[in-house]
Amino acid sequence: MHKGINQYQQVGAAGAAFADPHRLIEMLLNGGIDRLAQARGAVLRGDRPAKLKLIGKALDIIGGLRGGLDLDRGGEIARNLDELYDYMQRRLVTANARDDVEILDEVSRLLAEIRDGWQAIPPEARNPGKETPTTASAQPE
């Protein structure tokens, strides 16, 4: 989990060190979507240095999300996410090489779909068996 915190702090989110694991993933997904929107603007403005920096940050965020997967315990869902994150990373390399905003939009939509699914997880399912009456929204460690 520390890798995810470090990754998010590198892309500019001050509260990452204090976020619970569920919130951290949400922050990473939102950060990726934000960086892609900014990269899109940089491509449209012809600002190559900003485009490179922002696509690089989006790649780093996706890499952090991918690196946080537990492929042994996560089963099919983790394997599918790993493949999807790999696809997104490859698409961003192509988008960078071609200045292709349509690919940036595609990857942004994919991240948004994952984020929406992540946000839909009910609090009681985020850390089964570890809730207490005083921590009704307990999160996984």
Q: Which residues contact 92 (CB under 8 A, 6 or more apart)?
A: 55, 58, 59, 62, 103, 104, 107
Q: Phi first, then psi: give them for residue 94, nearest 5 degrees.
A: -65, -45
What are the pLDDT digits (tens) for 4-17?
Answer: 545 545 545 555 56
- CB atoms under 10 Å from CB of 28, counted, come to 27
pLDDT averaged over every residue in the chain: 84
- CB atoms under 10 Å from CB of 109, counted, come to 12
Q: Would you state the structure tokens that stand for residue 37, as one six-digit string?
A: 């929107």
What are the pLDDT digits (tens) for 40-83?
Answer: 999 999 999 999 999 999 999 999 999 999 999 999 999 999 99
